[in-house]
Structure 1
Amino acid sequence: MAENNHADTVTSGDSADHNSFVSEFHLAKMDCSSEERLVRMKLDGIQPEVALEFDLLQRSLQVFHQGNIDDITQRLESLNLGARLIETLEVEAADLSTAMASQAETDQKEASILKWLLVINGTMFFIELTVGWIAQSTGLIADSLDMFADAAVYGVALYAVGRAASLKLRAAHFAGWLQMILAVGVLSEVARRFMFGSEPASTLMMGFGLLALVANVACLVLISKSKDDGAHMKASYIFSANDVI
């Protein structure tokens, strides 16, 4: 009964559209970041805008909004995650602003991390490609292309920060296809060298391979704390972890 009263408070009267509210939902089937991303995508683009706070351990979601609770509830229920509205409370406008600001702060943090990753991988791409060509090392050339792929991934992810969740997902898909294309290119180069031969310089290979490892570890440390902040960041983390391995 109390739940219905809360919903009535939000949806009745034109003045509700100008007030701020927080609604708590329980999503029985939301137990990992994949479901969280589904929720973010479903509520992406909703007007007026909302701010989301997740608690995966308790399977709960707090939605800060301006009275569009019916639209929010319908979208969540359509995910079939067992969404149930617990309560809706009116809050100060400052609370909504704080939630929005927190979301913006997260975007800014992601952007800062991705810029550093882009610089590190872009620089290592040029270094390894040059040294790999001089040392006749397919390994260094392959790793330079991998650095280029990662730089492209970080660039796309940087573009996706603060934008639609669906765009972030497409950025992750793009990253996967790019890795596959480069893998085919490197295998072709290995086949060419196998047929025609080469004389790689082992000292250069090992020295710059070690430098690449240091760069990859630095990237992994930078992004590890933000790996669960969306599909685009998860993809970036996976690439960094693969590079270290």
Structure 2
Amino acid sequence: MSGHCCSSDVRFDGVSRAYKRALLAVIAINGAMFVTELAGSAAAGSQALQADSLDFLGDTMTYAISLAVIGKSIRVRSTAAIAKGISLSLMAAFVFGATIWRVFCLGFPSAPIMGSIGMLALAANLASVLILLRYRDGDANVRSVWLCSRNDAIGNVVVVAAAGGVFATQTGWPDVLVAGLMAGLFLWSSVSILRQAFEEWRTGGNTADVAVPEHGHSH
């Protein structure tokens, strides 16, 4: 059974020891990969790796916020999700801008380093996705964590593909194109999170916030 199976009309809000342990594990994975991928992006000169390293940093911080608001009112949880949605929009804007800047830079990234770091990041994000899979249909706060991890895994697949493109073409265009695609994915997820979060925030003040006992979820 999944952690959100207790009621058909109440979304799982993260109040379970199993989910908190899962979130702590994912926070540790993302924090370690931010440091690793940031160093790798500098060594490889890759815009796509740099974008992905910033995503790891953003995820580390937003997952910590998600952990902090577990058990709070729906207004507090939805406000946290709104903050995360806005941060994804800002990240998309930064990556778009950095991608445009990269177009006018000479040289191209190191494909071997880019591919190796991309594979390591993919393994880390797949581990996070598997840890969080059972919680993908929770409230806006819980669902935003799942979406971020899923998007990261998708992003890493295309980063590895971009490394192959850089090697094959001996140009930086595959790296630039992938960075742009990642920015678009950030923006799409931001819209999805904000839509659900605003709806939960709007209805939170008009309906009773149903608390689900911790023992009500399977561990």
C-alpha contact 1:217 1:244 (8 A) present in aligned 2: yes
Unaligned residue ranges in structure 2 (runs of 5+): 155-219
For residue 159 of structure 1, what is the amino acid of its counterpart?
Answer: A
Determine the C-alpha separation between the residues in 1 that align with 2:124 and 2:26.
9
Unaligned residue ranges in structure 1 (runs of 5+): 1-35, 37-52, 62-102
- Which structure: greater helix fraction? 2
Aligned equivalent of 1:144, options 53, 58, 68: 53
Determine the C-alpha separation between the residues in 1 that align with 2:6 and 2:101.
51
Calculate percent identity across the aligned residue pairs.
Answer: 27
Determine the C-alpha separation between the residues in 2 that align with 1:105 and 1:123.
24
**Which position in structure 1 is the counterpart of 2:149?**
240
Q: CA deviation at 1:244?
A: 1.6
Taking a change above 3 Å as real, the CA distance of residues 105 and 179 of structure 1, as seen in their structure-2 partners, is closer
For residue 7 of structure 2, what is the amino acid of its counterpart?
Answer: D
Aligned equivalent of 2:118, options 209, 217, 238: 209
C-alpha contact 1:132 1:205 (8 A) present in aligned 2: yes
Q: CA deviation at 1:198?
A: 3.1
Q: State the Cα RMSD in Å.
A: 2.4
**Which position in structure 1 is the counterpart of 2:37?**
128
> Is residue 182 from structure 1 mapped to residue 134 from structure 2 by the alignment?
no
C-alpha contact 2:44 2:110 (8 A) present in aligned 1: yes
SS of the residue aligned with 1:225?
helix
TM-score in terms of structure 2 length = 0.63
**Which position in structure 2 is the counterpart of 1:55?**
7
Deviations 1:54-104 (A, max 9, x none): 532xx6x8xxxxxxxxxxxxxxxxxxxxxxxxxxxxxxxxxxxxxxxxx99
Matches within 5 A, 1:75-94: none
**Which position in structure 1 is the counterpart of 2:193?**
none
Q: CA deviation at 1:162?
A: 1.8
Deviations 1:90-141 (A, max 9, x none): xxxxxxxxxxxxx999432222111111111111111111110111000110
SS of the residue aligned with 2:16?
helix
C-alpha contact 2:37 2:53 (8 A) present in aligned 1: yes
- Which structure: greater strand fraction? 1
Aligned equivalent of 1:218, options 100, 105, 127: 127
Equivalent residues, number: 150
**Which position in structure 1 is the counterpart of 2:136?**
227
SS of the residue aligned with 1:122?
helix
